[in-house]
Amino acid sequence: MAVNLKLSRITKTFPENGSLSQVPVLDNLDCIIESGQFFSIVGPSGCGKTTLLRIIAGLEKASEGQILLNGDAITDNDRRVGLVFQEFALFPWRTALQNIEIGLEINGVPKAERREEALKYVREFGLEGFENTFPKMLSGGMKQRVAIARTLISNPEVVLMDEPFGSLDSKSRIDMQNFLLDVWEQRKMTVVFVTHSVDEAVYLGDRVLVLGKRPSRIMETFDVEISRPRDRANPALLEMRERIFGLCARA
């Protein structure tokens, strides 16, 4: 597979409160994410996985190092990269449909055209009947569907997801995981999926990158060579889960 996203020697430090010294968060990360891959990043809370995602999204600058997408540096608000937030970040004054179409709206797609495109997503994402509902009245799972649709409608090559299902109850979490896999298998965009749940990382990912405690280095990268659709109780899956838990316990 073609190389898609290349992270070289990514280091990030933050200024410490009330002092001139810098606190390291990410320490010299190197990693290659292949095109169309479902790439999970798992690590303890506070390990800097969200920071890493924000750097790839162009929301923050790395202190050192470089990120290339198909050989070109990522810019601030890069069109080729989309981000799905854990807290949904829907615009509360826009209906579900208006939220989904905003990416096309700001890029000057005519109204009739973007409406039609957004309605395709409404149908595919099971949001019929809620087109004109404001986010406040939607369930958590529906909000996240709207947020994913809003990101996908602009066809980004890389979709970054920051613990997107972290605030959902376990039933809708499982539904959303399977829903996301369907969407991904149809489109085969690159997904970089950050989570603190080892189960989720292993079940979803082609590859799982394990980050250690702060300042984070890559502890290990696993290839999950289990065919899809996967059984959550697959022994190979459970074994890999145990290995990652063991790795985290040693850290």
Partner 1 sequence: MRGKRLIPPLVAIAVWQIITTVGGVPSYKLPSPLQVLGGLKDLAVVGLPPGHLLHTHALYSLKRVFLGYSLAVSVGIPLGIAVGWSRRVRFVVEPFIELLRPIPPLAWIPIAILWFGIGIKSAAFIIFLGAFFPILLNTSAGVLAVDPLLIEAMRTLNGKPRDIIFKVLIPGSIPSIITGMRIGVGLGWMTLVAAEFSGVKQGYGLGYMIMTARDIQRPDEILAGMFFIGVAGFVIDGSLRLLEKSLIKWR
**Among residues 76 and 225, whose Cβ is nearest to partner 1?**
76
Among 38, 39, 85, 222, interactor with partner 1 by CB under 8 A = 85
Decide the pairing of beta strands 72-73 and 64-69. Answer: antiparallel
Closest approach, Cβ 71 to partner 1, in A, equals 20
Q: Does 234 bind partner 1 (CB under 8 A)?
A: no
Q: From residue 146 to residue 165, what is the string marking binding to partner 1 with x (rule CB under 8 A)? A: ----xx--x-----------
Among 49, 79, 17, smallest CA distance to 194 is for 49
Give the interface size with partner 1 as a residue count (CB under 8 A).
29
Tokens of 209: 């990158």
Could you tell me which of 122, 184, 196 has the C-alpha nearest to residue 156?
Answer: 184
Residue 225 interacting with partner 1 (CB under 8 A): no
- Spatial separation of the C-alpha atoms in residues 139 and 123, rounded to whole Å: 17
Least Cβ distance, residue 147 to partner 1 (angstroms): 8
Rounded to a whole number of angstroms, the minimum distance from the CB of residue 109 to partner 1 is 12
Question: Does 56 participate in binding partner 1 (rule CB under 8 A)?
Answer: no
- Of 159, 196, 130, the C-alpha closest to 37 is 159
CA-based diameter of the chain, in Å?
Answer: 56
By CB under 8 A, tell whether 115 contacts partner 1.
no
With CB under 8 A as the contact rule, the residue among 6, 32, 64, 89 that binds partner 1 is: 89
Task: Tell me if 102 contacts partner 1 by CB under 8 A.
Answer: yes
DSSP state of 135: G
Q: Does 2 bind partner 1 (CB under 8 A)?
A: no
3-class SS of residue 195: strand
The tokens for 145 are: 């569907």
Q: Kindly tell me which residue out of 7, 50, 78, 205 binds partner 1, with binding defined by CB under 8 A.
A: 78
What separation in angstroms does the CA of 13 have from each of 16, 43, 67, 211?
Answer: 9, 18, 17, 16
CB of 201 to partner 1, least distance (A): 22
Q: Is residue 108 at the binding interface for partner 1, with CB under 8 A as the rule?
A: no
Query: Closer to partner 1 at the Cβ: 149 or 224?
Result: 149
Residue type, 34: E
197 forms part of the interface with partner 1 (CB under 8 A): no
Q: Which amino acid is at 14?
A: F
Q: At 209, give phi and psi (nearest 5°).
A: -100, 130
d(CA 68, CA 36): 16
Q: Check residue 92 for interaction with partner 1 (CB under 8 A).
A: yes
Structural element, H or E, at residue 27: strand 22-34
Among 91, 220, 223, 238, binds partner 1 (CB under 8 A): 91
List residues binding partner 1 (CB under 8 A).
57-59, 76-79, 81-83, 85, 87, 89-94, 102-103, 105-107, 134-136, 150-151, 154
